[in-house]
């Protein structure tokens, strides 16, 4: 299968050639033809499957081949994303794919001044990539109009709901023309997502890039039982022993991410932290330094890490297990991308056994337990069974009382 056999036009094919995309990924070969044909689409696809190009390429083609020139303050395609980082990443992808096309791209997200975004929108944008809150601000200030809107894309729809954007999304949907193409991408399909899809999509084509709720293949997943208070020490030990070069490490809290980065820096290991409390420029800077290998360890919270695009990341570490099992899948989606082998290691303390069991139930497989000599925990992590349940040791039967 080639991109040209999917019916893509020459300017897009040349851009893909320049980016060295040789073959479409499964989600691309399934999604591109129906989107080109104007159909609505619902896709189960997580980060790393190539989903962005899956919707961006056919969308750019439709915008080029048909429709009017974009009017002032108008947008023709709107891509809604949950986080600033994903907005930047998706916008960058659109710019790369449209390098040979006469189309205008714009981006809008919160946490930075609104004025430059308003200025940019004055001339209109063929594609606007936005987070829901900032988009509504722009709309309410008449900086953006939707009368020319042809296509709506919801990227990482599950995450938008998880982050509490349901009301903002409804307000945006109410402002859009009913006659439009709608594409919904989500890593997981909860009842809430299905309900939203039922309301928004018209006879959608369904595409499934990865089996539901299973982790990417080619990723070695393992866990080390350890006492909570020794996690930093164990992480340092593994970093040296395994010679991890570029590690994305997930930490439960913002404070924890900062503490880990500081502890590593104190040992002379270049590390940085990325979380919601850090201003956007600092987060982007940390990400750039990590990508350029200036920083070896990037400690991140789930929200901040969502949408980070780092190619061929060899190592992901769960310093803490996520509270929501689905986040485990998103986290390890950072490694083993585009067919490369990846490694995901979890440091698990006894009080995280329920989270471990929930993850194992979700991925329908146990995580391989590898004990690290010198770090055997005082607080044993109970065993989990094949169904992802915690196995409690049966209590010893009481001795029958001797009869008097
Ligand atoms: P995504 O799932 O959209 O976040 O994409 C994951 C990564 O795969 C990105 O870095 C893309 O640039 C890259 N990618 C997407 N499609 C292809 C392809 N057909 N060939 C090679 N790389 C790709």
| DSSP label at residue 393 | P
The answer on 165 and 24 residing in a single domain is: yes
What pLDDT sits at residue 335? 80
Is the confidence at residue 386, as pLDDT, over 60? yes
What pLDDT sits at residue 223? 96
Please give the structure tokens belonging to residue 168. 């903002």
Is residue 378 included in any domain, yes or no?
A: no
pLDDT by residue (tens digit) across 274-298?
987 887 778 888 888 998 889 999 9
Question: Which pLDDT band holds residue 211 (cuts at 50, 70, 90)?
Answer: very low
Please give the structure tokens belonging to residue 401. 């009382």
The answer on 191 and 85 residing in a single domain is: yes
Is 51 near ligand 1, meaning CB less than 6 Å away?
A: yes
373, 344 contact by CB (below 8 A):
no
The answer on 87 and 58 residing in a single domain is: yes
Q: Closest residue (by CA) to atom 22 of ligand 1? A: 21
Lowest mean pLDDT among 10-24, 116-130, 266-280: 266-280
Beta-carbon-side half-sphere exposure of residue 358 (alpha carbons within 13 Å): 13
The answer on 259 and 291 residing in a single domain is: yes
The answer on 187 and 301 residing in a single domain is: no
Is 338 near ligand 1, meaning CB less than 6 Å away?
A: yes
Q: Which of 53, 97, 186 for a ligand 1 pocket mutation test, highest count of atoms within 8 Å of Cβ?
A: 53
The answer on 149 and 249 residing in a single domain is: no
Is the confidence at residue 228, as pLDDT, over 50? yes
Mean of pLDDT values over 162-170 = 93
pLDDT by residue (tens digit) across 45-104?
877 788 999 999 999 999 999 988 999 999 999 999 999 989 999 999 999 999 999 999
**What is the residue-wise DSSP string for 290-354?**
HHTTS-SEEEE-HHHHTT---TTB-EEEESS--SSHHHHHHHHTTBSGGG--EEEEEEE-GGGHH
pLDDT by residue (tens digit) across 111-148?
999 999 999 999 999 999 999 999 999 999 999 999 99
The set of residues, in sequence order, having a beta carbon less than 8 Å from that of 80 and lying 6+ positions away, is: 130, 131, 132, 135, 152, 153, 154, 155, 160, 169, 172
Is residue 377 included in any domain, yes or no?
A: no
Is 47 near ligand 1, meaning CB less than 6 Å away?
A: yes
Mean of pLDDT values over 217-237 = 93
Q: How far is the CA of 50 from the centre of ligand 1 (A)?
A: 4
Is 49 near ligand 1, meaning CB less than 6 Å away?
A: yes
Domain boundary, last residue among 172, 188, 208? 208
Is 148 near ligand 1, meaning CB less than 6 Å away?
A: no
Beta bridge pairs of residue 246: none
The answer on 135 and 9 residing in a single domain is: yes
Mean of pLDDT values over 315-342 = 83
Lowest mean pLDDT among 263-272, 337-346, 390-399: 390-399
What pLDDT sits at residue 213? 43
The answer on 90 and 173 residing in a single domain is: yes
Residue 342 belongs to domain spanning: 219-369
pLDDT by residue (tens digit) across 346-385?
999 999 999 999 999 888 888 999 999 999 999 999 888 7
Three-state SS for 350? helix
Is residue 165 included in any domain, yes or no?
A: yes
Spatial distance between the Cα atoms of 219 and 332, rounded to a whole number of angstroms = 8
Helix (H) or strand (E) run with residue 96 in it: helix 84-97
Q: What is the CATH number of the domain that holds 21?
A: 3.40.50.300
Q: Which of 32, 52, 307 for a ligand 1 pocket mutation test, highest count of atoms within 8 Å of Cβ?
A: 52
Give percent of the chain above pLDDT 90.
Answer: 69
Spatial distance between the Cα atoms of 160 and 131, rounded to a whole number of angstroms = 9
The answer on 108 and 22 residing in a single domain is: yes
Is 290 near ligand 1, meaning CB less than 6 Å away?
A: no
């Amino acid at each position: 299968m080639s991109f040209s056999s999917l019916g893509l036009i020459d300017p897009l094919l040349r851009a893909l050639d320049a980016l060295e995309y040789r073959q479409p990924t499964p989600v691309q070969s399934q999604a591109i033809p129906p989107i080109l044909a104007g159909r609505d689409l619902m896709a189960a696809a997580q980060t790393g499957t190539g989903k962005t190009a899956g919707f961006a390429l056919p969308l750019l083609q439709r915008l080029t081949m048909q429709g009017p020139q974009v009017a002032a303050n108008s947008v023709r395609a709107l891509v809604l994303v949950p986080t600033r980082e994903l907005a930047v990443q998706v916008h960058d992808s659109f710019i790369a794919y449209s390098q040979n096309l006469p189309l205008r791209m714009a981006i809008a997200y919160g946490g930075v001044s609104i004025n430059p975004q308003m200025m940019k929108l004055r001339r209109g944008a063929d594609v606007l990539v936005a987070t829901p809150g900032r988009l509504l601000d722009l709309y309410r200030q008449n900086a953006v109009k939707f009368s020319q809107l042809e296509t709506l894309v919801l990227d990482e729809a599950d995450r938008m709901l998880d982050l509490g954007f349901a009301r903002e999304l409804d307000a945006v949907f109410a402002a859009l023309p009913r006659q439009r193409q709608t594409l919904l991408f989500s890593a997981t399909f909860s009842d809430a997502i299905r309900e939203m899809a039922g309301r928004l999509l018209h006879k959608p084509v369904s595409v499934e890039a990865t089996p539901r709720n299973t982790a990417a293949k080619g990723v070695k997943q393992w866990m080390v039982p350890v006492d909570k208070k020794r996690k930093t020490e164990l992480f340092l030990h593994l970093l040296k022993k395994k010679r991890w070069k570029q590690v994305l490490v997930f930490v439960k809290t913002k404070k924890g991410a900062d503490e880990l980065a500081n502890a590593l820096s104190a040992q002379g290991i270049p590390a940085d932290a990325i979380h919601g409390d850090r201003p956007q420029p600092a987060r982007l800077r940390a990400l750039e330094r990590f990508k350029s290998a200036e920083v070896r360890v990037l400690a991140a919270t789930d929200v901040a890490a969502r949408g980070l695009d780092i190619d061929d990341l060899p190592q992901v570490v769960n310093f803490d297990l996520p509270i929501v099992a689905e986040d485990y899948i998103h986290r390890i989606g950072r490694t083993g991308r585009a067919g490369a082998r990846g490694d995901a290691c979890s440091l698990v303390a006894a009080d995280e056994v329920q989270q471990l069991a929930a993850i194992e139930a979700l991925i329908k497989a146990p995580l391989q337990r590898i004990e690290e000599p010198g770090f055997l925990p005082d607080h044993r992590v109970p065993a989990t069974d094949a169904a992802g349940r915690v196995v409690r040791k049966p209590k010893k039967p009481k001795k029958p009382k001797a009869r008097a």
